[in-house]
């Protein structure tokens, strides 16, 4: 079968596989979105996140693979457009592992359809003088688009093995393992030295045949519909609405209701209370477990009953959108808006990813072109983008009040983001890069991958968020026991009750919100349920909470990506803006006598 | 290929038109390099898909979106 066709260089030199002091180190390198991470999974049996947009992988992923009789270290790298010239932060990550001698063999993964671009990179990779193998992945899509490649001819000309694969189906992977022993430094390129583009073009003309064919009619149609404003904007509205139905209504109302009322109120909490009261003799421990700020009655109920259903439904829809290739196309509509904020359309990726998790998205800002863009994007993520866990509580509280309340919150937050971006673009030094972006093909998502990603992310939520939630609950318990909570509440009274017009208890909620803003929001959720929050107060409190820095993890990621100073600066600016906006909103709503 | 018409700027070409890239203006620093890394180099075939709100085109087998200023720097020989 030609899809798994193997072309091995004739003159095999000394084999690479021999006795070694340490495992052979292989690196998967290539253009963005060509299937490196899928191949990584096939080679190592380990999952690296796979999505249909350039910039899914922005840091190195390490794994082990059994190749022949040898165990090898395999590294999955961020996709690159180039490894020389002006590079973005994620491209530098890849370049570094080529430069530092951390790699013995480079497995270049290319999209068979895009041979030209792949070869341009081959030409640059050759300069590192490392043994290479060229993988032409997506052989299935190449075929449906009428692209045929003479792999044998290409291998002979390059002097390296060339293998065609379909990583998603595992085709050609065995062949790849077989030829790894023959990896070689590519031939010198003759007189084109330096002009990678011309060489790649000539090679592509020589070894690639294009049959004009449009087998992918449906794909083209869809791609056109989402990209043209007349159809694309209504489609965007529809996508958001469906998302609201699945996450905001089904997840935040139906599922939360079932789990909270059905499971926790009826069974778990009474059972826990019964057991604890029966078997724990110390009042303070009883209180700690099942009291007002109890680990089980408060911590676990929030984490599992209120947030989990929304996070799960959100990631399911989100994973589907990620794999469809839809998200990057939003850049077409948003480029002009982002340009006013010192960014460009590409920033839509980290912003939308932030709805999943702001911490991850902060890392994804690496794909942006300049340091200024990265800083603005990190700031805006911290300021305005509610993560899935927080969306849970927003939908939960405001969905129960009115649609207008929901729109007020999103309107204020979006306006604030735009304003801050607009000012930051003018105040911060540096410049933005121009908008030029690759759009991945529209694909029907593999439900397996979508479900798998969802399970992984939910597990990650439980692993990271739940312990922190419990720590927060414990902290609140200790503060309240020591009487410090009351002191803080008194101290912040002018701010919370005076300026923001909120009940005194909201201070506790803000303390929780400092750890993770969704916990704070979850606290508001309970107050709202108990009837302690007027609708206007709910909107104001949630707006302030949404504008806070998302969580401790996000703050640490900001430090990691930007350094202490900018991170502390952002924390300060964001906190002031959050409270200022809340105070302004409170005043405006009262002056206008809005009651939702 | 007959050179019936002169090369045109990508930003001013009707959607649906096909052609080849002749040149990418080097007047703005690293613009041409970044475009090259995306495969936008002389000789590449091009199919204009849309002009507003962003310029979208197929370059060889890659679909790309760029802002108008960038499209203005790409010269295309229409077929
Ligand atoms: N049809 C087809 N799709 C593939 C193949 N390999 C990967 N894909 C899809 O291509 C998309 C990108 O795959 P990834 O493995 O995330 O690509 P990557 O090279 O790691 O991308 P970055 O991390 O962004 O650089 C996913 O939607 C995959 O399902 C293939 O052989 N055939
Ligand atoms: Mg990847």
- pLDDT (tens, 9 = 90+) of chain A, 596 residues, equals 344 444 444 444 445 555 667 889 999 999 999 999 999 999 999 999 999 989 899 999 999 999 888 899 999 999 999 998 889 999 999 999 999 988 999 999 999 999 999 999 999 999 999 999 999 999 999 998 889 999 999 999 999 999 999 999 999 999 999 999 999 999 866 556 568 888 999 999 999 998 876 666 788 889 999 999 999 999 999 999 999 899 888 988 889 889 988 888 888 888 888 898 888 888 888 888 887 777 787 778 777 887 889 889 999 999 999 999 999 999 999 999 999 999 999 999 999 999 988 988 999 999 998 999 999 999 999 999 998 888 878 888 887 788 899 899 999 999 999 999 999 999 999 999 999 999 999 999 999 999 999 999 999 888 877 787 778 778 878 888 888 888 888 888 888 888 999 998 888 888 777 777 777 777 887 788 788 889 999 999 999 999 988 888 889 999 999 999 999 999 999 999 999 999 999 999 999 988 88
Handedness of CA A472, A476, A482, A487 (dihedral sign): positive
Per the structure block, which two tokens stand in for A288? 């700690």
Strand partners, A149: A208
Structural domain contains residue A218: no
Nearest CB among A147, A228, A344 relative to B50 is that of: A228
Three-state SS string over A494-545 comes to: HHHHHHCCCCCCHHHHHHHHHHEHHHHHHHHHHHHHCCCCCHHHHHHHHHHH
Residue A221 lies in a domain: no
Cβ contact (<8 Å) for A81 and B38? Answer: yes
State residue A230's pLDDT score: 95
Instruction: Compute CA distances A471 → A290, A300, A463, A465, A478, whole Å.
Output: 15, 11, 13, 10, 10
Q: Are residues A256 and A168 in the same domain?
A: no
Same domain, A172 and A252: no
The size of the A-B interface in CB pairs under 8 A is 104
If you measure from the C-alpha of residue A54 to the centroid of ligand 1, how many angstroms do you get, rounded to a whole number? 9
Residue nearest to atom 32 of ligand 1 (CA): A138
Q: Which ligand is nearest to the CA of A168?
A: 1
Check whether residue A192 and residue A249 sit in a common domain: no
> Quick one: pLDDT at residue A417?
96
Q: How far is A147 from chain B (nearest CA, A)?
A: 10
| Residue A86 C-alpha from the chain's centroid | 24
Judging contacts by C-beta atoms under 8 Å, the chain B residues touching residue A434 are 28, 31, 34, 66-67, 69-70
Together in a domain, A184 and A330: no
A-chain residues within 8 Å CB-CB of B44?
116, 201
A431 and A572 share a domain?
yes
Task: Confirm or reject: Cβ of A29 under 6 Å from ligand 1.
Answer: no
Q: Which residue in the set B34, B42, B43 is minimally distant from A436, CB to CB?
A: B34
Encoding tokens for residue A541?
Answer: 């409190």
Q: How far apart are the first and last CA of chain A?
A: 66
The sign of the CA dihedral A391, A397, A399, A403 is negative
Element (H, E) at A136: strand A132-137
Instruction: Tell me which of A211, A240, A264 is where a domain ends.
Output: A211
Check if the beta carbon of residue A431 is closer than 8 Å to that of residue A370.
yes
DSSP for A381-449 reads HHHH---HHHHHHHHHHHTTT-HHHHHHHHHHHHHHHHHHHHHHHHHSSS-PPP-EEEEPPP-PPPHHH
Residue A75's CATH number: 3.40.50.300
Please state the domain count of chain B: 1
The two structure tokens encoding residue A285 = 């421990």
pLDDT at A266: 87
CB contact under 8 A, A116 and B49: no
Q: Same domain, yes or no, for A206 and A239?
A: no
Half-sphere exposure of A85 (CA within 13 A, CB side): 20
Q: Report residue A586 as tokens.
A: 């409170």
Is B12 domain-assigned?
yes
Kindly list the distances between the CA atom of residue A540 and the CA atoms of A248, A393, A492, A585, in Å, as whole numbers in the listed order.
20, 14, 16, 7
Q: Do A345 and A199 share a structural domain?
A: no
Which chain A residues touch B63 with a CB distance below 8 Å? 223, 438-439, 441
Residues A77 and A181 in one domain: yes
Q: Which of A4, A35, A82, A113 to mutate to test the pocket of ligand 1 (most atoms within 8 A of CB)?
A: A35
- Of all ligands present, the nearest one to the C-alpha of A79 is 1
Q: Which residue of B has its CA nearest to A82?
A: B37
Alpha-carbon distance values, A86 to A90, A91, A369, B73 (Å): 12, 9, 9, 19
Rounded CA-CA distance A194/A196 in Å is: 6
Beta carbon of A36 within 6 Å of any ligand 1 atom: yes
B2 is a domain residue: no
The HSE-up count of residue B60 (CA atoms within 13 Å, CB side) is: 28
Contact A339 B67 (CB under 8 A): yes
Asked if A307 reaches chain B (Cβ–Cβ under 8 Å), the answer is no
Q: Is residue A418 part of a domain?
A: yes
Q: Which residues of A touch B50 (CB under 8 A)?
A: 227-228, 332
For residue A55, give the ligand 1 atom closest to its CA: 24
In a domain, A224, yes or no: no
B22 occurs within a structural domain: yes
Report the number of distinct structural domains present in chain A.
2
Mutate-to-test residue for ligand 1 from A31, A33, A80, A438, highest number of ligand atoms within 8 A of CB: A33
Per the domain annotation, does A201 fall within a domain?
A: yes
**Shortest CB distance from B39 goes to which of A116, A145, A437?**
A116
Q: Which domain holds residue B65?
A: 8-78
Is B19 within a domain? yes
Residue A423: both structure tokens together? 């000012």
Closest CA to A164 of A184, A187, A134, A185: A134
Distance from CA of B33 to the nearest CA of A (A): 7
Task: Flag if A113 and B37 touch (Cβ within 8 Å).
Answer: no
Measure the CA–CA gap between A413 and A395, rounded to whole angstroms. 15
Distances in Å between the Cα of A115 and the Cα atoms of A67, A200, A201, A202, B45 are 26, 8, 9, 11, 13
Question: Are residues A358 and A423 both part of a single domain?
Answer: yes
Residue B20 located in a structural domain: yes
Q: For residue A217, is it within any domain?
A: no
Task: Report residues of chain B scoring pLDDT below 50.
Answer: 1-2
Contact of A70 with A24, CB cutoff 8 Å: yes
Q: Do B56 and A335 touch (CB under 8 A)?
A: no
Residue A568 pLDDT: 96
CA–CA distance, B51 with B68 (Å, rounded to integer): 8
User: What SS3 string covers chain B?
Assistant: CCCCCCCEEHHHCCCCCEEEEEEECCCCCCHHHHHHHCCCCCCCEEEEEECCCCEEEEECCEEEEECHHHHCCEEEEEC
Of A451, A474, A440, A458, which is closest to residue A389 (Cα–Cα)?
A458
How confident is the model at residue A8, as a pLDDT? 47
**Residue A243 structural domain:** 232-591
User: Is residue A85 less than 8 Å (CB to CB) from chain B?
Assistant: yes
Q: How far is the CA of A35 from the centre of ligand 1 (A)?
A: 3
Among A79, A29, A27, smallest CA distance to A53 is for A79
DSSP symbol at A187: P
Q: Tell me the C-alpha distance between A334 and A338, whole Å.
A: 6
Tokens of A18: 């021999």
Q: Are residues A526 and A390 in the same domain?
A: yes
Residues A454, A54, B34: CA angle, nearest 5 degrees: 165
- State the Cα–Cα distance between residues A259 and A276, nearest whole angstrom: 22
Q: Which of A86, A116, A227 sits opposite B33 (nearest CB)?
A: A86
The phi-psi region of residue A112 (left if phi > 0; otherwise alpha if psi is between -120 and 50; otherwise beta) is alpha
Residue B67 C-alpha, separation from nearest chain A C-alpha, in angstroms: 5
Return the sign of the alpha-carbon dihedral for residues B68, B72, B73, B77: positive
The Å distance, Cα A36 to ligand 1 centre, comes to 7
Q: Which of B28, B37, B66 sits opposite A435 (nearest CB)?
A: B66
The answer to whether the CB of B10 falls within 8 A of the CB of B46 is yes
Q: Do B34 and A116 touch (CB under 8 A)?
A: no
pTM: 0.89
Which chain A residue lies closest to B36 (C-alpha atoms)? A197
Please judge whether B31 and A434 are an interchain contact, meaning their C-beta atoms are less than 8 angstroms apart.
yes
| Euclidean distance between the first and the last CA atom of chain B, given in angstroms as a whole number | 8
Taking the C-alpha atoms of residue A4 and residue A139, their distance in angstroms, rounded to an integer, is: 9
Task: For residues A241 and A200, state if they share a domain.
Answer: no
User: Which residue is listed with tokens 């009883």?
Assistant: A286
Quickly count: other Cβ atoms within 10 Å of residue A357's Cβ.
27
Q: Decide if A225 is inside a domain.
A: no
Contacts for A5 with CB less than 8 Å, ≥ 6 apart: A151, A152, A163, A164, A175
Is the C-beta atom of A94 inside 6 A of ligand 1?
A: no
Selecting from A113, A201, A437 the residue whose C-beta is nearest the C-beta of B43 gives A201
Residues A307 and A406 in one domain: yes
Q: How many C-beta atoms lie closer than 10 Å to residue A124's C-beta? A: 19
Q: How far apart are CA A561 and CA A502, in angstroms?
A: 35
Check if the beta carbon of residue A9 is closer than 8 Å to that of residue A184: yes
How high is the pLDDT of residue A268? Answer: 87
Chain B CB within 8 Å of residue A333 CB: yes
Residue A290 lies in a domain: yes
**CATH number of the domain that residue B16 is part of:** 2.30.30.90
Question: Under DSSP, is residue A82 helix (H, G, I), strand (E, B) or coil?
Answer: coil
């Amino acid at each position: 079968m030609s899809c798994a066709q193997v072309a091995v260089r004739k003159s095999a030199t000394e084999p690479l596989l021999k006795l070694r002091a340490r495992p052979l180190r292989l690196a998967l390198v290539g253009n963005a979105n060509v299937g490196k991470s899928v191949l990584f999974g096939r080679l190592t049996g380990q999952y690296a996140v796979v999505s249909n947009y350039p910039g899914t992988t922005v840091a190195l992923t390490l794994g082990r693979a059994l190749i022949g009789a040898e165990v090898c270290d395999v590294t999955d790298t961020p996709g690159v457009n180039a490894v020389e010239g002006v590079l973005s932060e994620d491209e530098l990550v890849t370049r570094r592992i080529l430069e530092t001698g951390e790699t013995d063999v480079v497995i270049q993964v290319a999209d068979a359809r895009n041979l030209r671009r792949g070869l341009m990179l081959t030409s640059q990779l050759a300069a590192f003088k490392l043994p290479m193998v060229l993988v032409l992945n997506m052989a299935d899509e190449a075929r449906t688009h009428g692209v045929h490649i003479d792999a044998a001819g290409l291998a002979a000309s390059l002097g390296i093995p060339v293998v065609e694969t379909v990583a998603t189906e595992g085709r050609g992977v065995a062949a790849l393992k077989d030829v790894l022993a023959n990896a070689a430094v590519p031939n010198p390129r003759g007189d084109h030295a330096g002009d990678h583009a011309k060489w790649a073009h000539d090679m592509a003309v020589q070894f690639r045949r294009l049959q004009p064919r449009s087998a992918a009619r449906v794909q083209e149609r869809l791609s056109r519909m989402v990209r043209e404003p007349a159809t694309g904007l209504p489609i965007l509205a529809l996508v958001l609405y469906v998302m609201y139905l699945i996450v905001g209504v089904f997840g935040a109302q139906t599922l939360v209701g079932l789990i909270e009322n059905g499971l926790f109120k009826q069974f778990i909490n009474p059972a826990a209370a019964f057991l604890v009261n029966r078997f724990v003799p110390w009042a303070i421990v009883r209180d700690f477990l099942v009291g007002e700020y109890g680990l089980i009655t408060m911590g676990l109920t929030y984490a599992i009953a209120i947030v989990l259903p929304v996070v799960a439904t959100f990631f399911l829809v989100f994973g589907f959108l990620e794999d469809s290739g839809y998200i990057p196309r939003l850049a077409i509509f948003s480029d002009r808006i982002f340009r006013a904020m010192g960014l460009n359309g590409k920033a839509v990726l980290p912003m939308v990813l932030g709805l999943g998790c702001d911490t991850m998205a902060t890392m994804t800002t690496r794909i942006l072109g300049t340091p200024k863009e990265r800083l603005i994007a990190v700031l805006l993520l911290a300021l305005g983008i509610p993560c899935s866990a927080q969306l849970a509580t927003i939908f939960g509280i405001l969905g129960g009040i009115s649609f207008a309340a929901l729109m007020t919150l999103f309107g204020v937050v979006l306006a604030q983001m735009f304003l801050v971006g607009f000012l930051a673009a003018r105040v911060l030094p540096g410049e933005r890069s121009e908008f030029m972006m690759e759009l991945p093909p529209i694909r029907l998502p593999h439900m397996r991958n979508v479900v798998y990603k969802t399970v992984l992310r939910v597990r990650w939520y439980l692993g990271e968020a739940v312990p922190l939630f419990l720590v927060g609950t414990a902290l609140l318990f200790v503060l309240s026991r020591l009487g410090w909570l009351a002191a803080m509440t008194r101290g912040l009274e002018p701010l919370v009750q005076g300026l923001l017009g909120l009940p005194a208890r909201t201070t506790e909620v803000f303390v929780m919100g400092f750890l993770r803003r969704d916990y704070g929001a979850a606290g508001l959720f309970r107050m709202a349920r108990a009837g302690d929050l007027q609708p206007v107060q709910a909107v104001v409190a949630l707006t302030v909470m949404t504008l806070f820095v998302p969580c401790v993890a996000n703050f640490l990621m900001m430090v990691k990506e930007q350094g202490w100073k900018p991170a502390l600066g952002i924390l300060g600016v964001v906190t002031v803006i959050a409270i200022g906006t809340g105070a302004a909103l409170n005043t405006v709503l009262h002056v206008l006598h809005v009651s939702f | 290929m007959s050179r019936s018409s002169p090369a045109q700027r990508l930003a001013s070409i009707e959607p649906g038109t096909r052609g080849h890239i002749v040149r990418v203006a080097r007047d703005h620093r690293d613009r041409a390099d970044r475009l090259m890394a995306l495969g936008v180099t002389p000789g590449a075939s091009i199919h204009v898909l849309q002009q507003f709100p962003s310029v979208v085109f197929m370059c060889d087998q890659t679909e790309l979106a760029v802002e108008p200023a960038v499209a203005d720097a790409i010269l295309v020989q229409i077929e």
